[in-house]
């Protein structure tokens, strides 16, 4: 779970997004999972669920600058 704090164009706090993802490591270089994201207003009310979707991730190879 992680949170992203959101502000408007004037820099005023307007809410946050809460992202949750449950993952399973398929092998050392890949995971699959299920994720959700909620939009929460400044008063703490969940205004909508943005998505509930499967997720997939693959390890990136480090590249030298």
| Any domain includes 17 | yes
Q: What is the pLDDT of residue 49?
A: 79
- Of residues 57 and 49, more confidently modeled: 57
Model confidence over 13-53: pLDDT tens digits?
999 999 999 999 999 999 999 999 999 999 999 988 777 88
| Any domain includes 63 | no
Q: What is the pLDDT of residue 7?
A: 96
Residue 4, both tokens: 């992203």
Q: What is the pLDDT of residue 50?
A: 75
| Any domain includes 20 | yes
| Any domain includes 40 | yes
| Any domain includes 64 | no
Q: What is the pLDDT of residue 52?
A: 83
Total count of domains within the chain: 1
Q: Is the Cβ–Cβ distance between 40 and 17 less than 8 Å?
A: yes
Q: Which long-range contacts (CB under 8 A, 24 or more apart) does 49-53 make?
A: 50/17
- What's the domain range around 51? 2-58
| Any domain includes 11 | yes
pTM, rounded to two decimals:
0.66
In angstroms, rounded to a whole number, what is the distance separating the alpha carbons of residues 23 and 27?
Answer: 12
């Amino acid at each position: 779970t992680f949170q992203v704090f959101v502000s408007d164009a004037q820099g005023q706090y307007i809410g946050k997004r809460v992202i949750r993802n449950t993952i399973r490591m398929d092998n050392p270089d890949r995971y699959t999972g299920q994720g959700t994201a909620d939009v929460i207003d400044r008063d703490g009310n969940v205004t909508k669920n943005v998505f509930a979707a499967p997720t997939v991730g693959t390890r990136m190879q480090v590249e030298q600058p």
